[in-house]
Amino acid sequence: MENSNDFIYPTFNDKAEVIEQLSDKILMQNLDEQLSAVMVQGLKPVNIIDVFNERFNMINVKYREYDDILNQVLDMKISLHERVLLKLEERFDFQSNIEVDKILNDEFFLYVENLYDFFVINYKAKLISLLTNYIFDNRKHLSKEYKAVTDKKDLGIISLKKVFKTLDEVVIIYNLDEIIDGFINTVEENEYIIEIIVNNDEMEASNTIVSEIFLEDSVIDGFFGEEFKNNFFKPLTLDEFSYDLNTRIKNEVVKLLPKKNT
């Protein structure tokens, strides 16, 4: 038998406290900063939507008998997700075509939360993975291209030869910054960017959802704007982020390339 104390009718102050928990100014400010930043620092930033959902779920349990409160906090959750979606669409220049009034609430939340995960929480990791996999998958072509323009007598080349198995690997590491710039400049199809990321881990949740929205024939038919590529690669073009990103990409590529026996 449930304790009757669990169901004390909430006062006006109780309701105000519930709303304040979900509309916490600091929490919302942190979310706005994430959504407006070129790239959130750190490989695993705090997932603000997860924090919001934890509070939302606690309120739903505590006030499960009071529809007025449940309806109000649900409206707040829908509003927050609409706000996140709009900010992401504006920041990266894409149109998701996800409309809350045309799908179930839980579906809407799922789509938005995975877009937020892809373009905010794991954005830095996905940029690094994208370039790492592009370079490794195209290493034969890239080595051939950059051998022709690399001074084999350069001290940097001579030093790298002591580490890597062949000149193919050496010229890739030596010219890595130029290879990254070249990739950014030559990508023509926005879908290609997403394809490389998704193909690296097709079962990862946010990759699956982003693929459904932008790459597959589905009810939700998203598309990219003209500035998507520039916006997506922007951190790689800014001094504030590029050195750290290029270093991390280089470290990942180094791990994959064959080295001399030591």
Whether 143 and 93 map to the same domain: the answer is no
| pLDDT for the residue 21 | 75
Tens digit of each residue's pLDDT (9 = 90 or more) over 131-166:
999 999 999 999 999 999 999 899 999 999 999 999
Final residue before a domain boundary, out of 100, 121, 142:
121
Q: Which string of DSSP letters, residue by residue, matches 168-191?
A: HHHHHHHTHHHHHHHHHHH---HH
Whether 164 and 143 map to the same domain: the answer is yes
Whether 135 and 203 map to the same domain: the answer is yes
Average pLDDT along the chain: 90
pTM: 0.90
The count of structural domains within the chain is 2
Other residues' Cβ atoms within 10 Å of the Cβ of residue 172:
26
Q: Is residue 243 part of a domain?
A: yes
Q: Is residue 262 part of a domain?
A: no
Whether 145 and 117 map to the same domain: the answer is no
Question: Is pLDDT of 204 > 70?
Answer: yes
Whether 100 and 131 map to the same domain: the answer is no
Q: Angle 108-112-115 (CA atoms, 0-180°, nearest 5)?
A: 145
Whether 10 and 61 map to the same domain: the answer is yes
Whether 12 and 50 map to the same domain: the answer is yes
Distance from chain centroid for Cα 30? 17
Final residue before a domain boundary, out of 121, 138, 155:
121
| pLDDT for the residue 66 | 85
Final residue before a domain boundary, out of 121, 144, 173:
121
Q: Is residue 248 part of a domain?
A: yes
Whether 82 and 156 map to the same domain: the answer is no
3-state DSSP call for residue 259? strand
Whether 78 and 180 map to the same domain: the answer is no
Q: Is residue 261 part of a domain?
A: no
Tens digit of each residue's pLDDT (9 = 90 or more) over 10-52:
665 667 777 777 878 899 999 999 999 999 987 789 999 999 9
Whether 86 and 201 map to the same domain: the answer is no
Distance from chain centroid for Cα 122? 4
Question: Is pLDDT of 2 > 50?
Answer: no
| pLDDT for the residue 260 | 86
User: 31: domain range?
Assistant: 4-121
